[in-house]
A and B are shown apart, each in its own frame.
Chain A
Amino acid sequence: MSASALCLCGCAAREVTPVSMSQPGDDALSCDAIAQQIAANGAAEAKYRHDDKEVENGNIAKGVGSAAPFVGPLIAGSTDLSNEEQVKARSLADRNEQLRYLANRKGCGQ
């Protein structure tokens, strides 16, 4: 009973903060700074996409395990539905789209 109560109270989604597409100071970025941000965001995006796959696989395993008697609800409660890695990866992709637009507008790399 107390395990269930613990689980019900403790199964809220993790707080997730995506990267904003448009950020203050964007217009003042130099071409070098834009290129550095694009590279760093690309690397971070790849890592988040990889981690997202692992979370997804873990959730599938937990979904199967949730059918187990007695411990099933606890396993189901540990499922990670926060989508943190997916949200961050997608937001970084959109951020890079905006940075590429800024680079074009500034004539970077020409």
Chain B
Amino acid sequence: MKKNGISGAAGRLLATAAAAASLAACASSADPHAMAVAPPPAAVNADKAFPQALMHAMCVRAVTGGEKTNPLWVSKVDNDGFKSALGASLDTAGLTAPASGCSYPIDVNLLGLSQPSMGFDMTVTSHVNYKVYNSGGEPYLLATIDAPFTATVGDAFLGVERLKKANEGSIRASIQMFFDKLKDSGRP
């Protein structure tokens, strides 16, 4: 008997093949380019700007807490990848300080990623502490940011790839939320 045009045996074979393909695929680290925040269209957030003091005055000093990806396990976000993504995002936003001096260094502690073990829609929530200091070494902004992002089967068919995309989206959302807090930091 056929259901939806696929016989029971063929259906089982297809399901097994899909499961095998999903399990056989190797996990890879999140891509820094995919985690970086893209420049917003000129019309968006025009009323919300960064405080002038932060412009061309920030740098990423240290990133801790990231994990290397084990290809036989699940995709993770490592320190270098996060640093690269945050650095590129600062560049795009015009916040990066010249090499001669950084007045507002940023330390990042990646507390962890809350990931699903499997599923069709995969939601990853990144938990990140951003610590911005002023030139006197005093905390300028301390932000604990939880950023969820869901990747669907439409984003990637294979589970390992879908989880990687969810990781990347979550970090991108985290950096965007950090930027929003920076913008608010200049308001009275």
A-chain residues with CB within 8 Å of residue B129 when the two chains form the complex: 18, 21, 90-91, 94
Interface size on B, residues (CB 8 A): 26
A63 at the interface (CB under 8 A from B): yes
Chain A residues close to B by CB (< 8 Å): 7-9, 11-22, 63, 73, 76-84, 86-87, 90-91, 94, 98, 101
Chain A contacts for B65, CB-based, 8 A: 90
Which residues of chain B (56-96) have a CB below 8 Å from chain A?
65, 73-74
Q: Which residues of A contact B127 (CB under 8 A)?
A: 16, 18, 83, 87, 91
Choose among A20, A63, A81, A84 the residue that contacts B144 (Cβ–Cβ < 8 A). Answer: A20
Question: Which of B73, B120, B123 has a CB less than 8 Å from the CB of A13?
Answer: B123
Are A13 and B116 interface neighbours, CB within 8 A? yes
A13 to B19 alpha-carbon distance, docked (Å)? 21
Given the complex of chains A and B, what is the CA–CA distance between A11 and B113 in angstroms?
15
Question: Helix, strand, loop or mixed for chain A's interface?
Answer: loop
**B117 & A11 in contact (Cβ 8 Å cutoff):** yes
B115 on interface, CB distance cutoff 8 Å:
yes
Q: Which residue of B lies closest to A52 (CB)?
A: B112
CB distance B19 to A73 under 8 Å? yes
Contact (Cβ within 8 A) B114 A14 = yes
Partner of B123, one of A12, A77, A79, A80: A12
Chain B residues within CB distance 8 Å of chain A: 19, 65, 73-74, 109, 111-120, 123-125, 127, 129, 131, 139, 142-144, 146
Given A17-B146, A76-B117, A98-B139, answer yes or no on A86-B123 (Cβ-Cβ < 8 Å).
Answer: no
**Contact yes or no, B119 A11, CB < 8 A:** yes
Which residues in B have their C-beta under 8 angstroms from that of A11? 116-119
Contact A81 B116 (CB under 8 A): yes
Select which of B117, B120, B142 is within 8 A of A81 by beta carbon: B117
A11 and B125 CA atoms in complex are apart in Å by: 14
| A77→B131 contact, CB < 8 A | no
Instruction: Return chain A residues, CB-CB under 8 Å to B116.
Output: 11-13, 81
Within 8 Å CB of B113, what residues of A?
A: 81, 83
Chain A nearest Cβ from B148, distance in angstroms: 9
Report the bound CA distance from A103 to B160 in whole Å. Answer: 45
